[in-house]
Amino acid sequence: MERKKEEFFEPPDAGVRTQHHNVEVRLENLTKEFTDKTGKVTVAVNDFNVTIPSGKLIGLLGPSGCGKSTTLYLISGLLKPTAGRIYFGDEDVTNMPPEKRGIGLVFQNYALYPHMTVRQNILFPLVNMKVPKQEALALAQEMAELVHIGDLMERKPNQLSGGQQQRVAIARALVKRPRVLLLDEPLSNLDARLRLQTREEIRRIQRETGITTIFVTHDQEEAMSISDEIVVMNEGIKQQMDRPQAVYEEPVNMFVAKFLGNPPINIFEADLIGGRLVLKDGEVVADGFTEPDQEVFIGFRPEYLRVSKNGKITAKTDLIEHIGRDTMILCEIEGYDHLIRAIVPNDMELKVGQTIKLDCVKLFVFNAETGERYR
Ligand SMILES: Nc1ncnc2c1ncn2[C@@H]1O[C@H](COP(=O)(O)OP(=O)(O)O)[C@@H](O)[C@H]1O
Ligand SMILES: [Mg+2]
Quick one: average pLDDT of 97-119?
93
d(C-alpha 184, C-alpha 74), whole Å: 13
d(C-alpha 8, C-alpha 5), whole Å: 6
Q: Place 16 in a pLDDT band, splitting at 50, 70 and 90.
A: very low
Q: Place 111 in a pLDDT band, splitting at 50, 70 and 90.
A: confident
291-340 residue pLDDT tens: 999 999 999 999 999 999 989 899 999 999 988 888 999 999 988 988 99
CA of 236 to the centre of ligand 1 (A): 9
What is the position in ligand 1's atom list of the atom closest to the CA of 73?
A: 17
42-91 residue pLDDT tens: 999 999 999 999 999 999 999 999 999 999 999 999 999 999 999 999 99
Q: Identify which ligand lies nearest to the alpha carbon of 46.
A: 1
Which residues neighbour ligand 2 (ion) by CB within 5 Å? 69
Is the shortest distance between the CB of 67 and ligand 1 below 6 Å?
Answer: yes
Percentage, residues of the chain above pLDDT 90 = 83
Quick one: average pLDDT of 140-157?
95
Q: Identify which ligand lies nearest to the alpha carbon of 109.
A: 2
- Residue 325: the pLDDT is 86
- Residue 237: the pLDDT is 98
Peptide bond into 263 cis (omega under 30): yes
Mean pLDDT of the residues in the chain: 92
165-213 residue pLDDT tens: 999 999 999 998 999 999 999 999 888 988 999 999 999 999 999 999 9
Indicate the CATH number of 269-367 among 2.40.50.140, 3.40.710.10, 3.30.465.10, 2.40.170.20. Answer: 2.40.50.140
Is the shortest distance between the CB of 299 and ligand 1 below 6 Å?
Answer: no
Is the shortest distance between the CB of 44 and ligand 1 below 6 Å?
Answer: yes
Helix/strand/coil for 324: coil
- Residue 218: the pLDDT is 97
- Residue 280: the pLDDT is 92
- Asked if pLDDT for residue 11 goes beyond 50, the answer is no
Break the chain into its structural domains and give their ranges. 6-255, 269-367
114-143 residue pLDDT tens: 999 999 999 999 988 889 999 999 999 999
Q: Which long-range contacts (CB under 8 A, 24 or more apart) does 260-264 make?
A: 260/220, 260/224, 260/232, 261/220, 261/301, 262/220, 262/221, 263/302, 263/328, 263/341, 263/343, 264/341
CA of 99 to the centre of ligand 2 (A): 21
Does domain 6-255 sit in CATH 3.40.50.300?
Answer: yes
Q: Which residue has the least CA distance to atom 8 on ligand 1? A: 70
d(C-alpha 287, C-alpha 280), whole Å: 15
CA of 67 to the centre of ligand 1 (A): 6
What is the position in ligand 1's atom list of the atom closest to the CA of 184?
A: 21
CA of 178 to the centre of ligand 1 (A): 26
- Residue 20: the pLDDT is 57
User: 11-15, 160-164, 277-281, 318-322: lowest mean pLDDT where?
Assistant: 11-15
Q: Place 12 in a pLDDT band, splitting at 50, 70 and 90.
A: very low
d(C-alpha 145, C-alpha 252), whole Å: 42
- Residue 47: the pLDDT is 98
In this prediction the pTM is: 0.91
| Residues recorded for the chain | 375
CA of 268 to the centre of ligand 1 (A): 32
Is the shortest distance between the CB of 66 and ligand 1 below 6 Å?
Answer: yes
- Residue 10: the pLDDT is 38
To 10 degrees, what angle do helices 133-146 and 118-128 make? 130
